Amino acid sequence: MGLISRHSYFARVTALAAQRPVHAAFAWMHQNPKTIMDWQVELSTIPAPPFGEQARSEWAAARFREIGLQSVSIDEVGNVFGTLPSTQLPPESTGHVVVLSAHLDTVFPAATPLKPVLEDDTLRVPGACDNGAGVAGLLALAQALVHAAPELPVPLVLLANVGEEGEGDLRGVRYLYQNNSLAGRIAAHIVLDGAGADTAVVQALGSRRFLVRVEGPGGHSFSDAGTPNPIAALSAALASFADQPLPTEPRTTMNLGTIRGGTSVNSIPQFAEASVDIRSTSPDELIRLEVALFRAAEDAVAHFNLKPTAAGRRPLTLDIQRIGDRPAAELAADAPLLSMLRAVDRHLSLPTELRLGSTDANIPLSLGVPSLSLGAGGEGGGAHTLEEWYSAKDRELGLRRVLLLTLAMLGWAAEQ
């Protein structure tokens, strides 16, 4: 398809918003705030740490079936799929689809007390906003579309995915693009994450995370003096790495997050390990700092192994494991997905604040699939703390925004 003018995008959105089924979808969301909040409250009582999302996956699959989505399934890692089929294509079509997703997992351990408190339109519970708001929004949009039954030129795939947070390392969406037959058919991917109605994450902050471990024979601090010390070697490596220059543009950071090792003050430790976090908007900076980390660790271990030791004492060994890899990427400034979002926001009299972030959208963006991450309306705070909260005030506006963008991109995808 050729270039579309900004006026044409706005005209498309305006025409779409005037359709009777869209009014019906808006009406369902306006008339059912309690249903949406009930979903959010119920979801928030189910623990879902990374790699422990099974119960939430089963809950989401049950909701998808109740809503009336087709082809509901749970894949090998716990991702939940449901489909609103095209009204214009045969079921066996292998053409384009649009994906609308929200992650199920939270940062909280399984034993975290989950006792939701709902006062007026405000929910207080760990995970209320991130990503209870996104999942509740996903269900609301699905139910509104089933209720309104608009003409869909291509299928809409709804995805409640696992593994977005922390050590999950985007594994749910990564698995979709690496293993699912849908991967080559996705024309656009819209992610719902948290609250808000006037921002969009269009630049994917890349990150690489490592566990650096140094091991040695250990021993008594006096009788085995001279035995290579893993803590000393690891500390030297981290100090050297921390001296690496960091550019302000592209923005790049490093963090030495944890360090542990040893058993007592009078013992030469048998191991020491540290976790390291590197972030940048530039893939080249991620590679540069990864190389620098390996070099610093290898040089430090080699240096301590050169020191004289008692006969027969084995040297230090080094192991570096990559425990996280989120690619850096960016949605092009002239991408139709971004132009369509601006048109939707203009129609709804909303600003469009573009942000940098680390979300499920990192994966499709890195693969060249148009993607962005939006809030699902409302307000929230205290994310990743026990005091997390979400207010449903203006949730409806955020959901209208997502609905219009999704329907507009379904039309665009049909033309590709």
Structural domains for the chain = 6-204+328-414 (3.40.630.10), 206-326 (3.30.70.360)
pLDDT, tens only, 52-94: 999 999 999 999 999 999 999 999 999 999 999 999 999 889 9
Work out the angle between the directed axes of helices 33-44 and 20-31 (0-180°, nearest 10): 60
Would you tell me how many other CB atoms lie within 10 Å of the CB of residue 368?
Answer: 9
Q: If DSSP codes are grouped into helix, strand and coil, which group holds residue 322?
A: strand
Confidence of residue 6 (pLDDT cuts 50, 70, 90): low
Residue (of 53, 131, 50) closest to 384 by Cα position: 131
Cα(364)–Cα(361) distance, rounded to whole angstroms? 6
The reported pTM is 0.91
Q: Is the pLDDT of residue 2 over 50?
A: no
Would you tell me how many other CB atoms lie within 10 Å of the CB of residue 322?
Answer: 11
Residues forming a β-bridge with 325: 208
Confidence of residue 308 (pLDDT cuts 50, 70, 90): confident
pLDDT, tens only, 30-62: 999 999 999 999 999 999 999 999 999 999 999
Q: Is the pLDDT of residue 180 over 50?
A: yes
Q: Is it true that the peptide bond before 109 is cis, omega within 30 degrees of 0?
A: no
* Cα separation of the two ends of the chain: 6
Q: If DSSP codes are grouped into helix, strand and coil, which group holds residue 128?
A: coil
Please, is 324 exposed, middle or buried when counting C-beta atoms within 10 Å of its C-beta (0-12, 13-18, 19+)?
A: middle
pLDDT, tens only, 364-403: 999 999 999 999 999 999 999 999 999 999 999 999 999 9
DSSP strand E in 40-178: where? Answer: 70-74, 80-84, 97-103, 117-119, 122-124, 156-161
pLDDT, tens only, 243-265: 999 999 999 999 999 999 999 99
Under DSSP, the state recorded for 163 is: -
Under DSSP, the state recorded for 252 is: E
Cα(42)–Cα(267) distance, rounded to whole angstroms? 50
Confidence of residue 178 (pLDDT cuts 50, 70, 90): very high
pLDDT for res 309: 66
pLDDT for res 312: 63
